[in-house]
C-alpha cells in the first residue's frame, strides 16, 4: 500500500485536496444555512412576542392615561365650581355691604337735616344771648363808673394817677421777673454751650485715632565693638574731624561701651550724621574721602525721606495741591520733637481734630485742616532762620502762595494776633487738645500725675472737706464738703478760696474748674 501511495503523483494529491476542501465548504454552508434559518425563526417568534407585549402595555398605558385625564378634568371642574361659588359669595357680601352703606348714608342725611334745624334754633338763641350780653355790658359800664367814682373819693387819687401807679408797680414786678428769666436763660445757654462744646470735642477725639506716644529722634549710634571707636576717630583724629566738618554735628566718644553720641541743634543734621555713621560702620571703609561720599548720599536720602513723609502726611489728612517747597519742609518735621512729641505727627493729629471740629461746627473744613497741618511748619526752619516758628511759618506760607485764611490760622494759633475767623480758633483749640492730652508729651504726662495729686492735696487742706476728686484730666476738681460743718454760703466762698490757692500755687495750661458740692440727707426708718 505504501508503494502505491508513493507512486501517486503530487498533482493527483493536490486535486484530491482541492476537492476535499470544496466538499467541506459545501457541507459547512449547508450546516450554516440550517442554523441561520432556525435562528431567524426564533428571532421572528421573539419579535412577535415583544410586539404583542408592547401592544398590551400601550393599551394599559392608554387606559391609565384616560382614567387620569378624567380624574384631572373632574378635579379641575370641582376647583372651578368652588372658585365660582367663592366669587358668588363675595358678590353677595359686597351687595350686602353696599346696601348697608346706602342705609348709613340715608341715616346720615336725615341726621344732617336734623342738625341743620338744631343749628338754626341755636343761632336764634345766640342772637337773643348777644342782645342780653350787650345790655349786661352797658349795665357793667355804669356800675364800673360808679365804683371808680367811689374809689377816687376814698383813695383821694384820680383815675389817671391810679393808672400810673398801677403801671409803675407792674413795671417793677415785670422787670424783676424779666431779670430772673434772663438770668435763667443765660445760665441755661451757658450750660448748654458747655455741654455742646464737650460733646463736639469728645466726638472729635473719639474719631481721631492716633498714637498715644510719639517716637523720638535717635541721636545715639550703636557700635559692633569698642575697636570701632578708634577707626571712627582715625589717625590723629582725621576721620572724626572730617565727619564733624561735613555733617555740622559733634561726635561724643566717651567711656560708654559700644556707643557714640551725636550732639547737634539741627535734627536733620543729626539724622544725616547718624545714617552716615551707620553706613560707614557697615561698609568698614572709613577715611575722609569716603566720609564725604557717604554724607552726600545720606543727605539726598534724607531729602527723599522728608519728601515722602510730607506726602504721607498730606494723604493721611486728605490735603492735596500743597506747594512742593511746603511739602518738603513739612516732611522735615519728621525729625523734630517738642517735649518728646513728634511735631509731624502732632501736626497731622491737629489737622484731623481741626477738620472734625469744623465739620461739627459748620466751619470751613478745608481751611481748618490745612491750617492745622501747617500751623507748626516754622519749627522745621527755626534752627536756620531768625524769628519765632510762628513768624517763620507765616512768611513761608505767604511765599508759597497759601490762602490768607490758612496764613491767619498759622499766625493766630499762639494768640500772637487777634482771631479773625472761626477756623483760626478751631486750629488753636485742636493744637491745645493734641499738645495737652495725657501721654502726648513726656513732660506733660509726668506733670499730669503731679497735678492731680496737688489738686487733691490743696482741696483736702481746707476745713470741712470730706472728699475731693481731680477729674477731666486735671481740668476740674470736685470737692464734697460736710453739710453739718459748711453752709451753702460758706461753700460758695470755699470754692473761691480754693480757686485762688490753685492759681497761686500751681502751674497748668488752660483753666481748672472748682466744684464744691454740699448735700444734706435726712433718713428715718418706719417701724
Q: Which residues of 281-298 are buried (b: 16+ CB within 10 A; e: fewer)?
A: beeeebeeebbeebbeeb
Interhelix angle for 10-155 vs 159-207, to 10°?
A: 160
173 pLDDT more than 60 = yes
Q: What is the pLDDT of residue 270?
A: 85
Phi, psi for 316 (deg, rounded to 5): -65, -35
Q: Which residues of 219-236 are buried (b: 16+ CB within 10 A; e: fewer)?
A: bebebeeeebbebbbbee
Q: What is the pLDDT of residue 373?
A: 92
Least confident segment among 144-148, 167-171, 440-444: 440-444
138: cell is 352797658
Assign 459 to helix, strand or coil. Answer: helix
CATH C-level class of 220-436: mainly alpha
Q: What is the mean pLDDT of residues 236-264?
A: 82
214 pLDDT more than 50 = no
Q: What is the mean pLDDT of residues 357-367?
A: 88
Determine if the pTM surpasses 0.85.
Answer: no
Q: What is the pLDDT of residue 395?
A: 92
Distance in angstroms (rounded) separating the CA atoms of residues 5 and 82: 107
Res. 366 pLDDT band, cuts 50 70 90: very high
Distance in angstroms (rounded) separating the CA atoms of residues 177 and 209: 49
508 pLDDT more than 60 = yes
Q: What is the pLDDT of residue 212?
A: 42
Helices (H) and strands (E) in the chain, counts: 15, 8
Most confident of 188-202, 257-271, 376-390, 427-441: 376-390
Q: What is the pLDDT of residue 196?
A: 63
Res. 219 pLDDT band, cuts 50 70 90: low
Distance in angstroms (rounded) separating the CA atoms of residues 262 and 251: 5
Res. 444 pLDDT band, cuts 50 70 90: low
Q: What is the pLDDT of residue 200?
A: 62
- Pairing relationship of beta strands 465-471 and 341-342 according to DSSP bridges: unpaired
Most confident of 257-261, 338-342, 469-473, 490-494: 490-494
215 pLDDT more than 50 = no
SS (H, E, C) 361-417: HCCCHHHHHHHHHHCCHHHHCCCCCCCCHHHHHHHHHHHCCCCHHHHHHHHHCCCCC
SS (H, E, C) 42-92: HHHHHHHHHHHHHHHHHHHHHHHHHHHHHHHHHHHHHHHHHHHHHHHHHHH
444-518: CATH number: 3.30.300.30
Q: What is the pLDDT of residue 218?
A: 43
Q: What is the pLDDT of residue 152?
A: 65
Q: What is the pLDDT of residue 410?
A: 92
Amino acid at each position: 500500500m505504501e508503494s502505491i501511495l508513493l507512486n501517486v503523483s503530487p498533482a493527483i494529491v493536490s486535486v484530491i485536496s482541492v476537492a476535499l476542501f470544496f466538499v467541506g465548504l459545501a457541507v459547512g454552508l449547508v450546516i450554516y444555512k440550517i442554523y441561520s434559518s432556525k435562528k431567524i425563526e426564533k428571532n421572528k417568534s421573539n419579535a412577535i412576542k415583544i410586539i404583542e407585549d408592547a401592544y398590551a402595555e400601550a393599551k394599559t398605558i392608554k387606559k391609565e392615561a384616560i382614567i387620569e385625564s378624567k380624574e384631572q378634568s373632574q378635579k379641575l371642574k370641582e376647583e372651578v365650581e368652588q372658585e365660582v361659588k367663592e366669587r358668588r359669595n363675595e358678590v353677595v357680601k359686597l351687595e350686602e355691604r353696599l346696601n348697608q352703606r346706602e342705609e348709613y348714608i340715608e341715616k346720615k342725611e336725615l341726621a344732617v337735616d336734623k342738625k341743620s334745624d338744631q343749628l338754626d334754633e341755636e343761632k336764634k338763641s345766640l342772637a337773643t344771648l348777644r342782645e342780653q350780653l350787650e345790655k349786661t355790658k352797658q349795665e357793667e359800664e355804669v356800675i364800673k363808673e360808679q365804683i371808680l367814682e367811689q374809689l377816687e373819693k376814698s383813695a383821694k387819687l384820680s383815675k389817671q394817677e391810679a393808672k400810673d401807679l398801677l403801671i409803675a408797680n407792674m413795671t417793677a414786678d415785670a422787670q424783676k421777673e424779666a431779670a430772673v428769666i434772663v438770668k435763667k436763660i443765660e445760665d441755661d445757654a451757658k450750660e448748654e454751650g458747655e455741654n455742646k462744646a464737650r460733646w463736639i470735642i469728645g466726638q472729635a477725639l473719639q474719631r481721631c485715632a492716633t498714637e498715644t506716644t510719639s517716637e523720638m529722634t535717635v541721636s545715639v549710634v550703636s557700635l559692633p565693638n569698642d575697636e570701632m571707636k578708634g577707626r571712627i576717630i582715625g589717625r590723629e583724629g582725621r576721620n572724626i574731624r572730617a565727619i564733624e566738618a561735613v555733617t555740622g554735628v559733634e561726635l561724643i566718644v566717651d567711656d560708654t561701651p559700644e556707643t557714640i553720641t551725636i550732639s547737634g541743634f539741627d535734627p536733620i543734621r543729626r539724622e544725616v550724621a547718624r545714617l552716615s555713621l551707620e553706613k560707614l560702620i557697615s561698609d568698614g571703609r572709613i577715611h575722609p574721602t569716603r566720609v564725604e561720599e557717604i554724607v552726600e548720599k545720606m543727605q539726598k536720602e534724607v531729602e527723599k525721606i522728608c519728601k515722602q513723609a510730607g506726602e504721607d502726611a498730606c494723604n493721611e489728612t486728605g490735603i492735596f495741591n500743597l506747594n512742593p517747597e511746603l511739602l518738603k519742609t513739612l516732611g522735615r518735621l519728621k525729625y523734630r520733637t517738642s517735649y518728646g512729641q513728634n511735631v509731624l505727627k502732632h501736626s497731622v493729629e491737629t489737622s484731623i481734630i481741626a477738620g472734625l471740629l469744623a465739620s461739627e461746627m459748620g466751619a470751613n473744613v478745608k481751611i481748618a485742616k490745612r491750617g492745622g497741618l501747617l500751623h507748626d511748619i516754622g519749627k522745621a526752619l527755626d534752627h536756620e532762620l531768625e524769628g519765632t516758628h510762628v513768624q517763620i511759618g507765616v512768611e513761608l506760607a505767604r511765599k508759597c502762595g497759601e490762602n490768607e485764611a490758612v496764613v491767619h490760622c498759622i499766625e493766630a494759633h499762639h494768640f500772637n494776633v487777634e482771631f479773625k475767623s472761626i477756623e483760626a480758633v478751631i486750629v488753636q483749640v485742636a493744637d491745645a487738645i493734641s499738645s495737652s492730652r495725657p501721654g502726648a508729651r513726656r513732660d506733660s504726662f509726668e506733670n499730669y500725675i503731679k497735678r492731680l495729686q496737688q489738686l487733691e492735696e490743696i482741696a483736702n487742706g481746707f476745713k470741712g472737706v470730706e472728699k475731693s476728686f481731680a477729674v477731666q484730666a486735671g481740668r476740674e476738681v470736685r470737692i464734697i464738703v460736710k453739710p453739718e460743718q459748711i453752709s451753702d454760703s460758706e461753700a460758695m466762698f470755699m470754692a473761691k478760696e480754693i480757686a485762688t490757692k490753685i492759681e497761686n500755687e500751681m502751674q497748668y495750661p488752660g483753666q481748672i474748674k472748682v466744684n464744691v458740692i454740699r448735700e444734706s440727707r435726712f433718713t428715718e426708718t418706719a417701724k
